[in-house]
Homo-oligomer: A and B are copies of this chain.
């Protein structure tokens, strides 16, 4: 009997940026059986580490070299750098019909850019919910995406590319792709991810500026500021690119602190109880 097997896997996967996310994409694809994975990092040591771990099969010496050899391309640099790479690679992506996606936490700008570059048949944005406060290939894992939600944001008229990108996440990496419009994604993430980042960093900035030195911080302070240690470059790009929704969410946090301030100044125990109880009820509803 003869079986026809359609392989969803790319022949050659290209990954630009071999940090926690890009390194994990390459590594998990290698484990899944993608036979050729070309990777590039502007930090040569990252490429060497990725090759040693078996996450990539070839180290490229430039981003361009990755583009030239891939039939599926993942841009895994911080958001602004990923947009630059998309601009540089656009002609080759169009002429060679490469599938392409990125992995950043803000999707509107890169999706609009892809649209303006005529990449609707080739590009869809991705955002795997697998962020970590750690950076570099050292933070990469070979099973990071198993069971993880990945938002996939299509370009207008880009449904074929979005399907291809979804198939890559589910078929190769075992993740759960969830299609979503880029604008809806960015409004959502402003609350669920960008505001928590801002809150953690703001608390860390306040403690760094005025908090006591050389003292013991308990679990609450440590948990509450952990993601403040995340990549500065990445978050600079995300916050600037998602400015309007982040400012709106920030206003929500400032209002909440304003309510507390008013409550403390007036010594209103009932209002304070109410404020704390709202917070506790919401958090208990999330589970541990």
CA distance A277 to B205 in the complex (A): 9
CA distance A223 to B211 in the complex (A): 21
CA distance A249 to B229 in the complex (A): 21
Interface string of A28-57 (1 = CB under 8 A from B): 000000000000000000000000000000
CA distance A208 to B282 in the complex (A): 6
Interface string of A186-211 (1 = CB under 8 A from B): 00100111011111111111111111
Q: Is the CB of B204 within 8 A of A278?
A: yes
* Whole-angstrom distance between the Cβ of A254 and the nearest chain B Cβ: 6
Q: Is the CB of A129 within 8 A of B256?
A: no
Q: Is the CB of B235 within 8 A of A204?
A: no
Q: Is the CB of B205 within 8 A of A193?
A: no
Of B132, B193, B199, B204, the residue contacting A203 (CB under 8 A) is B199
Q: Is the CB of B257 within 8 A of A217?
A: no
Of B222, B229, B283, the residue contacting A229 (CB under 8 A) is B283
Of B198, B261, B278, the residue contacting A205 (CB under 8 A) is B278
Of B129, B208, B223, the residue contacting A223 (CB under 8 A) is B223
* A172 contacts partner chain B, Cβ-Cβ < 8 Å: no
Closest chain B residue to A244, Cβ basis: B264
* A59 contacts partner chain B, Cβ-Cβ < 8 Å: no
Of B206, B230, B233, B259, the residue contacting A256 (CB under 8 A) is B206
Which residues of the partner chain B approach A217 to less than 8 Å between Cβ atoms?
192, 286
B-contacting 9-mer, from A14-22, A94-102, A107-115, A265-273: A265-273
Interface string of A214-247 (1 = CB under 8 A from B): 0111111111111111101101100110010011
Which residues of the partner chain B approach A209 to less than 8 Å between Cβ atoms?
252, 255-256, 278
Q: Is the CB of A280 within 8 A of B218?
A: no
Give residues 92-128 of A contacting B (CB, 8 Å): none
* A81 contacts partner chain B, Cβ-Cβ < 8 Å: no
Which residues of the partner chain B approach A228 to less than 8 Å between Cβ atoms?
279-280, 282-283
Closest chain B residue to A216, Cβ basis: B149
Question: 20 other contacts beyond A199-B203, A202-B256, A253-B257, with CB at 8 A cut-off?
Answer: A129-B218, A188-B212, A188-B215, A192-B221, A193-B218, A193-B220, A196-B220, A199-B202, A200-B279, A202-B260, A204-B279, A204-B280, A205-B278, A208-B281, A209-B252, A225-B283, A226-B283, A228-B283, A232-B277, A247-B265
Q: Closest 10 CB pairs between A and B? A: A208-B282, A204-B279, A201-B279, A206-B252, A228-B283, A196-B221, A228-B279, A229-B283, A205-B256, A191-B211
List 14 contacting pairs A-B, 8 Å CB cutoff, sorted by A: A129-B216, A191-B212, A192-B211, A192-B216, A193-B221, A196-B221, A217-B286, A223-B224, A223-B226, A224-B227, A228-B283, A236-B272, A240-B267, A240-B272
